Amino acid sequence: RALTGQSHDYKRHGTSTLFAALEIATGQVTAACKPRHRHQEFLAFLKQIERTYRHILDDQGAPVELHLVMDNYAAHKHRAVRDWLRSNPRIVCHFTPTHASWMNLVEVWFSIIERQAIHRGTFASVRDLMIKIRAFINGWNDRCQPFVWTKTADQILKKADRKTTSVAVH
């Protein structure tokens, strides 16, 4: 039986997890494809982020804080991750509320890569998928620019604090 949106001859060749950090000032993306989305892979990505931005210093020559916005996925809050973050205080994590990933600007970028590079693509292997993802990221970074919000902070916060308009009785 065919799954919705997939042809009768669809064959899944495996999966990959894409970790990505969007630098909001430039639009530059730092990313890593990993075989799974466990705390070990996330911790490796955090270390990659730290190495990538280690050279950015403030006016006094001290490393600047890196603010990471992410969802509440369990791997992001694992004890090993928390321990590493405590030993790297320049990395500050902010967690989006449940069902509010739309507030994280990197989600816009994930939507773009999905539409432009992944959706309806044909990949003979996970390696082929990762090559396509890396090519997209390289091209993106060659021409990146910051995203511009089209709504004010007040409009965004009003939507985030939307009141229930109906009462569902189950």
Which token pair is 19? 């970790």
Is residue 95 within 8 Å of residue 76, measured between CB atoms? yes
| φ, ψ of residue 127 in degrees (nearest 5) | -60, -45
The H or E element spanning position 66 is strand 66-70
What is residue 69's three-state secondary structure?
strand
- E strands in 61-160: 66-70, 91-95
pTM of the prediction? Answer: 0.78
Q: Give the separation between CA 41 and CA 50, rounded to whole angstroms.
A: 14
Spatial neighbors of 67 by CB under 8 A, at least 6 apart, are: 92, 93, 94
C-alpha angle 7-109-80 in degrees, rounded to nearest 5: 100
The one-digit pLDDT tens for each residue of the chain (170 residues) are: 233 454 445 455 567 899 999 999 999 999 999 989 899 999 999 999 999 999 999 999 998 999 999 988 888 999 999 999 999 999 999 998 887 777 788 999 999 999 999 887 888 888 999 999 999 999 999 999 999 888 888 887 787 776 666 666 65
Q: CA torsion angle for 80, 100, 90, 37 (degrees, to 10)?
A: 30
Which token pair is 155? 């409009």
pLDDT score recorded for residue 162: 65
